[in-house]
Structure 1
Amino acid sequence: MKEEKSIEEIKSEIKHFPDAENPYKLLDLKLTPVEKWAAGVPAVIAAISDLFEEKTVIRGTRALFKMNQFGGFDCPSCAWPDPDDERSPLGEYCENGAKALAEEATTKRVTPEFFAKNSVYDLAKMNDYQIGKLGRLTDPMYLPKGGTHYQKISWDDAFKKIAEHLNKLDSPNEAAFYTSGRTSNEASFVYQLFAKEFGTNNMPDCSNMCHETSGTALIPVIGIGKGTVKLEDFDNADVVVIIGQNPGTNAPRMMSALEKTKNNGGKIIAINPLPEAGLMGFHNPQQLNGVIGHGVKLADLYLPVKINGDMALLKALERLLLEMEAKFPGQVLDMDFISEKTMGFEAFAEQFENPSYHIDALARECGVRREDLEEAASMLAFKKKIIVCWGMGLTQQPNGVDMIREIVNILLLKGSIGIKGGGVCSVRGNSNVQGNRTMLINEKPTEAQLDRLQEYFGFQVPRAHGYDVVRAIKAIHEGKIKFMFCMGGNFLSATPDTTYTANAMRKLELLVCVSTKLNRGHLIHGKEAIILPTYGRSDKDIVNGEVQIVTAENSMGVVQHSKGMLDAVSDNLINETQIACRMAMETLKDRSVVDWQRYHDSYDAVRDDIEQCIPGFENFNVRVREKGGFYLPNRARDEQYFVPQLGGKAPFTLTELPVNSLEADEFMMATTRTHDQFNTTIYGLDDRYRGIKNERRVIFMNQKDIDSLGFKAGDKVDLYNFDDGIERVAPLFVIVSYQIPEKNTMTYFPETNVLVSVNNVVKDSNMPASKYVKIQIKQHDPAVYKKVDEMLIQGEIDS
């Protein structure tokens, strides 16, 4: 029986386990001018300075010239595609890619001796930036029950402990297997295969937090959960619409594609609450005009939409297009395409008879002037080659699925899907997040996918859907999941409701993390914890004396190979594919029907079986070694063939206009990245384009809102959320006056993930709605820290 502790005893022990958050400490905020353009010489300087900081100038520079090149290795950062034809000899990478490579190629090391000197509690006193800058992990580490320090463990003993925990579970469904988007196709395939042979579909992954909404929205309306454009389509587009996405920070190489759009006479419409530098202008550091000239203006029209006003804006554009078609029959809408390739147009058009869809009402809802909406519609009206791009600014809103389907509605009106220079473009994050899903990393695989695996391998695959990220967090809290294996990533910092999630993670019997570097997710652990160090994308992955290739799929469906070229920082690293295989062999032993040793010894063998199990990978080992790789099938793009169940047609979708209301003391908050981070990885403490230097705990507010609350820029405040009747608090933020719609605010994640309720999710996709959080803003009270401690204490009592 568990020995009950008094609250007083737990309070006395609070110092023995770390906070779930970055330390609540302000640095020295400096404000600089907000940039009007992105990239240029400052980006080059920033990239080079990171190589010096990581003490890897020669090693790192040599690697940069191989990154994203034919025969080189894939960038470990975003999933923006490489050119199919020729690639720049000066470098096919951006500032953030260079920063990611610098941290991967660093010569700094986190050794067992380091862990012996530093307790988990002491490490947690560091902020995420400091933790990430410690260096590469060198050896497997184990934290025993009740332990204060990680200690070295052999690989054999690590796998034995993992197998012991897995085999003593009452059900396979008491285990969960998380995947980061950087995992290769080969590792992803064997990882999901092990989970299924073990007996569970509990495979939450990073898609559940970034683009699950995109796939959920697209499959029922165009028949595929991916985009329908190639990189070359940007060269031919008449109009590119960028909505809820910031290319300058999240996919900087995208700006080169947008530059080609502009150079070829195309126009760009930017829709975003903030006027981001990467939407406004681009100085290409590889061209003279980008170094000493004025660069290129990107957005021809910027629409400053309110948070979650996107739906009203999209409906306004549709109404205007329908009205223009009535004036110019057959010139605005593609009626032949609508008749032959779609269904439901009449009902779609009839909805605009609703008075709430009057253009002035929609303009008020979205916060954009009627004149600007009319200009946007005019830019679209007589053009057909239209690309619409979006990011997490849409996918993390509660009605994100509906908004993406509304984007598809517009493109169906114009006949702009499946043509050269037109289509949908979901701008993905991590470098193989799309490939993970193709490799069946999915908590709800289809029956056809399961049938094929069962037929080929001969074991009974689990059929019940598993847990996604949000459901997994709740299941851990409820004691339904007792073991969690994380193949990369930083689960704690990426997820919502940080205190709730942290208190859940502490209930796990064992948490295992495969990682290249230390992160806060290793410091908020289960009763036992293991860290398994692995190769980065740039490292030589040597199997049986030969450097291996791995493969990844970019955000436009190209599968290409990647071959590391740096000597690893330690002789005691194991690649992810072999980690999954050794876990399988040790756990399943003789009851497995899969030849795990064959996969362990040969990535070609893995690819041979991928070819047998997943459509589109015919002759995989040969085609992936060809220059530039190959495109996966995409009938929506290649044939204008959409939903098979509808005879290849695409249905128009009827969506609802959301009701967005705030109390007088409430504000809408959306979380965002700084320019000095990628997802949860913090490269630095500056947000150069937004004029923020040496601080992350800031809240961007409209000056009128600052005045209405009686504050001034620079004041310190605490942020509160009260969803579900629970008080959540993020203490100590500095107000920054910024160009943002009234009653809207912006903050950085993961610092404000604590305010995102685990129940605040996107309809249908069940993703955290981190771009739609109602908050109250109060003057900073030092006593707020006591509230945070009480939340941690309550979590300790519960566990």
Structure 2
Amino acid sequence: MAEKLRYTPYRSPTGGWGSVKSLVSHATGQGAVHASASLMRDHNKTGGYMCTSCAWAKPAKPHAAEFCENGAKATFWDLTSKRVTPAFFAQHSVSDLLEWSDFDLEDQGRLTQPMRYDPASDRYLPISWEAAFSEIGQRLQGYDPASVVFYASGRAALETSFMYQLFARLYGTNNLPDSSNMCHETTSVALPQSIGTPVGTVLLEDYEKTDCILSFGQNVGTNSPRLLHNLQKVRERDVPIIVFNPLRERGWEEFVNPQRPGQMVTNRPTRIATQYYQPRAGADIAVMMGIAKLLLEWDDAAKAKGGAPILDHAFIAEHTHGFEAFEANVRDTGWEEILAACGLPRADLENAARVYGHARSVIAIYGMGLTQHKLGVDTVQMLINLLLMRGNIGRPGAGICPIRGHSNVQGQRTVGIAEKVALVPLDQMAERYRFQPPREDGMNTVEACEAIVAGKVRAFIGLGGNFVRAIPERRLMEEKWRDLDLSVQIATKLNRAHLVTGKCTYLLPTMVRSEIDTQASGPQIVTMEDSTTCIHASRGKHKPASEDLLSEPAIVAGIAKATLPANPAVPWDTWVADYALVRDEIEACFPKDFRDFNQRLDQPGGFPRPVAARDRRWETESGKANFKIPKALHASFDDGTDPNVLRLITLRSNDQFNTTVYGYADRLRGIHGSRMVVMMNRQDRERAGVGEGGFARITTAVDDGITRSMAGFQVIDYDIPPGTIAAYFPECNPLIPLWHYAEESKTPAAKSVPVKIERDETTGASVA
């Protein structure tokens, strides 16, 4: 339960004893101490289970404890001793539960039996699996397939994901939005245009060979803590790490490795970032433009003096297209407008450019701080431009490294969960499964939301996730969601998406990855893909939370069998009995990516999918890597002309993964007890007339006839650039217009929302 806000800037390193204490607290709080031994033995290790949290790579030679604080929290959350049984729903109406917080809902524990919402009693009532499948199938048979949405969160394994997308296409739709639409869809659009691949080019081994790292818009301490092990080793080779991020985050500053007893005893941290710069939200294009301009200027000077060039001219000539136009654009862009847009002094850009310009092999890391803007695609492509200028793609120790979120969000796309038909081998599927798949693109996440608002969606099936909590424009979406004829939610724990009910709503509980999944052929293996395109096997080790749970593949097959006519080419029951047969199907449909799939399951470190750009083969229209010219120097919907408009970044806490809130301790920012917090530069707070520790109302600064305003945010003075504020996701999602998304990718633009701040006179006292 939320308490009074306490804020004290956190001065300790990331990791260290703070992390250990947090794990002990969460293990005991969830009654999951029994899972601790398995964490050491099985977590992210060959023969064990893969983490359900982030998608960072798993090394071939794992550490003794191959997990981070967030991964352990996710496991304790999954393996909690708490249970949500039919008796719980008998005690609580849906209307009452809607008043509960996200944390309190999920903290009740694991769902144990399938349930159906009863509008008359406003309660969930038990239903048998057979009846649930039959009723859902009968309803789906009555809809136009174009009016049905099949959503997938990033947690389902490759086997489930393949079966799910095949079910949707056999049903007759490509409406397969997924959680990647909300985070790295921008990457999936930007990278193919620039280098011909929708994924990063870096493997874990490249961190051992790099001599410089650039990072933009990524908070390693909260979002991918295991990466800190690699970064620590990089720093011990005296390799520079240059960070651009609006907030100063402790993960980029100092790290004490819990795997090293000596460091834990001394508490002497490793310094991670060697240079740390804080541009305004949405200003990364300007930062990169400045660095590019400096590289050109210094290359000109070197050429005039007969010195070594700064640019890799041979690489540019042989491997790239469009450099001349890009060069002209950079030269024509003036320093005054660059510096005004980025909010940094030229000296900062010079310091960063000097280090980058002298490094041989450079890795560029980025996260949603680049992707979730109006010009997110342009921003990612500008980062690629920087790498191309010095030949940093397709070289050992170099490349582009998008940090993905959920543990298999990248893999789902690989096996066909995509609304774009160009990304899916429909011809192979048509021949193999003897049907005619739909050939028109389906809806992505934003388009599905637009269609729900317009009343064009009849049914929504959710394979995991907390959809109505994660999306923008939440108030309107929750109102329109109740008009859905059918809502089916496959889940492990109770969340708000289950309580915003359609006319007919089913709650279908499933196992978690760390639980033993026993089918007719015995215990099963599932697989997932990490951020570096490596495929890993996962074997559950714990008894399922309830005997009434079904696996995700069994649930997908159960609904599919009840919905579709029998098809001998699609033996659902046979596949559920032995997931190895599903992997054979994946290999048959995606032979390039999954050669010898079942034979390579236990390759240490996973087996990598082929990525042509790693070998400097460019699968683009030009046949080369393409320089792209950005449309503007800022990526935000805010054009920067109104000084009263601030740019809101929505972000996660240290006690959170995506919409799952583990508690109210954002330890690494020193914020405890509340999530209704807004972090502001002191100058902005004073200009808005808000007292220190006072309360504020945030209102979206757009004129579209809809007022989006939220009160009750307690203000804290924070190390953040003027013109930028930060508050928590998903609490602030009602402030994001549905039409505020990245051009081309339609990723919600949640990292520079234009807002205005005013004093809130209606809410209580100040910070404790």
Matched residues in 1 for 2:679 and 2:254: separation?
A: 22
Match of 1:257 in 2: 230
State the SS of the aligned residue for 1:266: coil
Q: Tell me how far apart the structure 1 counterparts of residues 265 and 230 of structure 2 sit (CA, whole Å).
A: 18
Instruction: Tell me the matched-pair count.
Output: 753
1:383-398 equivalence runs, <5 A: 383-398=359-374
Residue 668 of structure 1, aligned match among 642, 647, 650: 647
Partner in structure 2 of residue 122 of structure 1: 96
Check if 1:685 corresponds to 2:659: no
Is 1:744 the counterpart of 2:721? The answer is no
**1:464 and 2:440 are equivalent in the alignment:** yes
Q: Does 1:621 align with 2:594?
A: no
* 2:6 corresponds to: 30
Change in CA separation of 1:783 and 1:627 when aligned onto 2, cut-off 3 Å:
closer
Secondary structure in 2 aligned to 1:61?
Answer: helix
1:331 to 309, 323, 326: 309
Aligned CA distance change for structure 1 residues 136 and 363 (closer, same or farther; 3 Å): same
- In the other structure, the counterpart of 1:99 is 73
**Corresponding residue number in structure 1 for 2:126:** 152
Tell me, yes or no, if the aligned pair for 1:41 and 1:291 is still in contact at 8 Å. no
Find the residue that maps to 2:508 and give its secondary structure. strand
What secondary structure is seen at the aligned counterpart in 2 of 1:646?
A: coil
SS at the partner of 2:621?
Answer: helix
CA distance 1:190–1:58, change in 2 (3 Å): same
Query: What does 1:73-84 align with in structure 2 at a 5 Å threshold?
Result: 73-84=49-60
Task: Determine if contact 2:528/2:537 at 8 Å carries over to the other structure.
Answer: yes
Which residue does 2:476 correspond to in 1?
500
Aligned to 2:213: 240
Query: Which residue of structure 1 aligns with residue 248 of structure 2?
Result: 275
Residue 617 of structure 1: CA displacement? 0.7
Contact 2:195 2:620 in 1 (8 A): no
Q: Which among 9, 16, 20 is matched to residue 44 of structure 1?
A: 20
Q: Aligned in 2, Cα 1:573/1:352: closer, same or farther, shift over 3 Å?
A: same
Match of 1:195 among 165, 168, 189: 168
| Deviation string, structure 1 residues 136-169 (Cα, Å, up to 9, x no partner) | 0000010034440001000001101111110111
Q: Deviations over 1:396-450 (max 9, x none)?
A: 0111100111111111111011111100000000000000000110011217611
Secondary structure of the residue aligned to 1:569 is coil
Amino acid at match of 1:685: Y
In the other structure, the counterpart of 2:63 is 88
Residue ranges of structure 2 left out of the alignment (5+ in a row): none
C-alpha spacing 1:352/1:63, structure 2 compared with 1 (3 Å): closer
- How is 1:333-372 mapped onto 2 (pairs within 5 angstroms)? 333-354=311-332, 357-372=333-348
1:70 CA displacement: 1.3
Q: Which amino acid counterpart does residue 330 of structure 2 have in structure 1? A: F
Of 766-775 and 61-70, more deviation after overlay is shown by: 61-70
Secondary structure at the aligned position of 2:425 is classed as helix
Is 1:653 paired with 2:628? Answer: yes
Partner of 1:635: 612
Structure 1 residue 644 displacement after superposition: 4.5
Could you tell me which residue of structure 2 aligns to residue 17 of structure 1? none
5+ residue gaps, structure 1: 1-24, 785-799
Change (3 A) 1:181 1:770: same
**Whole-Å separation in 1 of the counterparts to 2:715 and 2:357:** 41
Q: Write out per-residue CA displacement over residues 168-223 of structure 1, whole angstroms, 9 at most, x where no aligned residue.
A: 11x11111000010100000000000000000000110000010001100011111
Match of 2:85 among 111, 115, 118: 111
State the Cα distance separating 1:781 from its structure 2 match: 5.0
SS at the partner of 2:665? coil
Query: What residue identity is the alignment partner of 1:673?
Result: R
Contact 1:63 / 1:565 at 8 angstroms: preserved in 2? Answer: no
2:740 pairs with 1:769: no
Decide whether aligned partners of structure 1 residues 436 and 305 sit closer, same or farther in structure 2, where only a CA change above 3 A counts: same
Asked if 1 retains the 8 angstrom alpha-carbon contact of 2:695 and 2:763, the reply is no
Matched residues in 1 for 2:151 and 2:265: separation? 43
1:143 maps to which of 117, 120, 134: 117
- Going from structure 1 to structure 2, the CA distance change for 1:290 and 1:266 (only over 3 Å counts) comes to farther
Q: How does 1:517-532 map to 2 (within 5 A)?
A: 517-532=493-508
The answer to whether the aligner puts 1:434 opposite 2:405 as a matched pair is: no
Q: Deviations over 1:482-527 (max 9, x none)?
A: 1000000100111111101111211111111111111111111111
The Cα shift of 1:782 comes to 4.3
Distance 1:87 1:600 in 2: 31
Which stretch of structure 1 is more off in the superposition, 325-334 or 457-466? 325-334
Partner of 1:316: 290
Is the Cα–Cα contact under 8 Å of residues 717 and 734 in structure 1 kept in the other structure?
yes
From 485, 495, 507, the counterpart of 1:509: 485
Give the C-alpha shift of residue 36 in structure 1: 5.7
Compared with structure 1, are the counterparts of its residues 298 and 415 closer, same or farther at alpha carbon in structure 2 (3 Å cutoff)? same
- Give 1:594 shift: 1.9
How far, CA to CA, are the matches of 2:688 and 2:423 in structure 1? 55
**Equivalent residues of 1:240, 1:389 under 8 A apart:** yes
Deviations 1:31-89 (A, max 9, x none): 122336311111011012111001121234334431101110000000000112x1112
Query: Which residue matches 1:3?
Result: none
Whole-Å separation in 1 of the counterparts to 2:316 and 2:488: 51
Q: Is the 8 A contact 2:83 2:112 kept in 1?
A: yes
- The amino acid across from 1:623 in the alignment is R
Distance 1:146 1:484, change over 3 A: farther
1:298-309 pair list within 5 angstroms: 298-309=272-283
Query: Partner of 2:428: helix, strand, or coil?
Result: helix
- For residues 521-580 of structure 1, the C-alpha deviation after alignment (integer angstroms, 9 at most, x for no partner) is 111111121111101111111111611110000000100100010001100011111111
Q: Which amino acid aligns with 2:758?
A: K
Residue 608 (str. 1) matches residue 581 (str. 2): no
1:450 pairs with one of 400, 408, 426: 426
Moved more, 108-117 or 37-46: 37-46
Provide the rounded CA distance (Å) in 1 between the counterparts of 2:422 and 2:532. 22
TM-score of the two chains, using structure 2 as the length reference: 0.96
Residue pair 2:612, 2:619 contacting (<8 A) in 1 also: no
* Residues 186, 606 of structure 1: 8 Å contact kept: yes
CA distance in 2, matches of 1:667, 1:57: 44
Task: Please say if 1:296 is aligned against 2:270.
Answer: yes
Q: In 2, Cα distance between the equivalents of 1:277 and 1:151?
A: 46
Q: CA RMSD in A?
A: 1.6
Q: What does residue 137 of structure 2 align with?
A: 163
Whether 1:730 and 2:710 are equivalent positions in the alignment is: yes
8 Å contact kept, 1:142–1:530: yes
The answer to whether the 8 Å contact 1:144/1:527 transfers is no
CA contact (8 A) 1:214 1:395 kept: yes
What is the SS of the residue equivalent to 1:590?
A: coil
Q: Is the 8 A contact 2:712 2:763 kept in 1?
A: no
Alignment of 1:556-595 (within 5 A): 556-590=532-566, 593-595=569-571
Q: Give the partner amino acid of 2:754.
A: K
* More displaced 10-residue stretch of structure 1: 625-634 or 107-116: 625-634
Secondary structure in structure 2 of the residue aligned to 1:713: coil
Conservation of the 8 A alpha-carbon contact between 1:703 and 1:737:
yes
Distance 1:363 1:174 in 2: 48
Q: Is the 8 A contact 1:717 1:733 kept in 2?
A: yes
**Paired letter, 1:714:** G
